[in-house]
Amino acid sequence: MTKYNSIFRDNLFQDRTILVTGGGTGIGRAISHELASLGAHIIIASRKLEKLEATAKEITDAGGKCSIYTLNIRNEDAINAMFDEMLNDHKTIHGLVNNAGGQFPSPAENINQKGWHAVIETNLTGTFLMSKTAYNRALKQNQGNIVNIVAEMWNGFPGMVHTGAARAGVSNMTKTLAVEWAKDGVRVNAVAPGVIHGHGITQYDPAFVESYVKMASADIPLKRMGTESEIASAVTFLLSPAAAYITGETLKVDGASSLWRKTWVIDNHQNSAKFDGFED
């Protein structure tokens, strides 16, 4: 049985219902386990039913409450239909964790319009549509709050330009929504994970992962990758009353990698055109 040991106090989220997108795997699964272990009724939504079922079983076997809905966050009609069903079943939600996302590594010059749009639609548009729907249909009625999962994109995101642009957009959107929705007591924050050793990394080509992990860990001041639980506990803090005065913030959980790590090797070259306005 999968048991989750949270650092937070028991029943912190008693009588709270929290929707976690992409909650069936990886960081989303850890967030779902952690919040359920603290008494929340967790609703996980994503595209793949088998993954949802497996995580829901883990949570309920451990004594937690978990419901599942299949959902494509890129489609506003599907989101509204899912909310119809979910609110009929559970009345309201008190929190939303926008964790669902996806991207693929590629040099920018090889990404076509379809690939670019797919990543922007999932990570940026999907997060906006989910936030707006949750706010209008539940959160503004009960001072709920939102946590968005973004990424380490502070120096751009060489190798994944699409997700860097989308996640930076979400971090900016987090500030806007925090201000616009403050009137209803709805807080909106984000967590920016650094390099996490977990399910996410297994999605990529093993050769890419091996070189990436070696390069990344060496340059992280804490000299290791983070865990999914270290992201889950930051999300839990931001959702909790302990963060009642925090809104519009993106919290880095990255072992200081964003202050130090080089993510891209620049080959030696002499291709920089120079400007010199002086005539000898």
Given the rule CB under 6 A, which residues bind ligand ADE? 21-22, 46-47, 71-74, 100, 102, 122, 126
Helices marked H in the chain — which ranges? 26-37, 49-61, 76-90, 113-120, 126-137, 161-180, 206-218, 228-239, 257-260
Which lies closer to ligand ADE via its Cβ, residue 102 or residue 248?
Answer: 102
Q: In the Cβ-directed half-sphere of 194, how many Cα atoms lie within 13 Å?
A: 25
Which lies closer to ligand ADE via its Cβ, residue 73 or residue 196?
Answer: 73
> In angstroms, what is the minimal distance from the CB of 71 to ligand ADE?
5
> In angstroms, what is the minimal distance from the CB of 124 to ligand ADE?
12
> In angstroms, what is the minimal distance from the CB of 98 to ligand ADE?
10
Which lies closer to ligand ADE via its Cβ, residue 126 or residue 255?
Answer: 126
Which lies closer to ligand ADE via its Cβ, residue 167 or residue 261?
Answer: 167
Residues 6 or more apart whose Cβ sits within 8 Å of residue 23:
29, 31, 32, 42, 43, 44, 45, 46, 52, 55, 97, 99
Indicate the SS3 state at residue 101: coil
> In angstroms, what is the minimal distance from the CB of 47 to ligand ADE?
5
| Ramachandran angles phi, psi of 247, nearest 5° | -150, 145
Q: Cα angle vertex 155, ends 214, 248, to 5°? A: 115
User: By beta-carbon distance, which residue lies closest to ligand ADE?
Assistant: 100
Contact in structure between 98 and 146 (CB atoms under 8 Å): yes
> In angstroms, what is the minimal distance from the CB of 126 to ligand ADE?
6
Contact in structure between 191 and 109 (CB atoms under 8 Å): no
Which lies closer to ligand ADE via its Cβ, residue 125 or residue 142?
Answer: 125
Which lies closer to ligand ADE via its Cβ, residue 166 or residue 190?
Answer: 166
Host H or E run for residue 17 = strand 17-21
> In angstroms, what is the minimal distance from the CB of 129 to ligand ADE?
10
